[in-house]
Amino acid sequence: MQTDNCPETASQETLSPPEEVRVTGFRLELIHFLRRPLHGVREVLSEVSAGVAAEDFFRDLSEESKKQLFCQQMASVLPLSGRYTLNLSVSMLADAAFVEQILAQKLGRKIIIEIQDPGSLLRLNSIEQQTIFTAVKRLSAEEYQVWLDDLYPEHLYAWSRSGLVFDAVKIDCHLFRQFSQSAAVFARLVRRYRDAGKMVVVEGVESIEDYIICLRSAADALQGYFFRQEWRRLSLH
């Protein structure tokens, strides 16, 4: 998909007005699958200029800039082999026109959608939540896998009400650190998450010890600095 195929409103606004604060490229992080025959799946993560506080920068991006960034990420990986996960916010899923633009590209066998802020669902009323659930169902019907990123236990109930079973759910690095002090406790967390997703992906794997804990937990896939030699980068400049 070319950037100009995204919604017009997303392409009319720059990513960041100050020239010194901008996205410089994309990091393609390998997702290492342990138990399923999936290979060449990478998450597309944006990188910013040196000295920029990345977390603050992405948090403060306008909705239109987030859409444009999504389009840039998609256009950048289309010529590459493999499959790629791209992040969408709950608010972006609430934009029916934007979701339809994604569906129109018919890239379900290439692009995986990660809902990056599942906790945001808790701030919506029941009607707004149904809009999100409908968007997920529409994407799934068109062969797009949908994953829940950064899922925390307190988010599970709200998402379970939808009746959806996601293609994967991700345990983020902070939750992994919190629960991995005990292999048995972490294994129970993985089993609990499996009720929400067909696969459980663990982020923040940094060492062989982390790898072994995840392997014993029956997690399906891993991601993190331990696999950094398999990362790739795309420059925008």
Amino acid 15: pLDDT? 42
CATH number at residue 20: 3.20.20.450
Helix/strand/coil for 87: strand
Mean pLDDT for all residues in the chain: 89
Domain tally, the chain: 1
Quick: pLDDT tens for 75-85: 999 999 999 99
Q: For residue 40, what pLDDT band results from cuts at 50, 70 and 90?
A: confident
Residue 89 belongs to domain spanning: 3-235
**Cα–Cα distance, 234 to 237 (Å, whole number):** 9
Quick: pLDDT tens for 12-37: 334 444 433 478 899 999 999 998 76
Quick: pLDDT tens for 100-143: 999 999 999 999 999 999 999 999 999 999 999 999 999 999 99
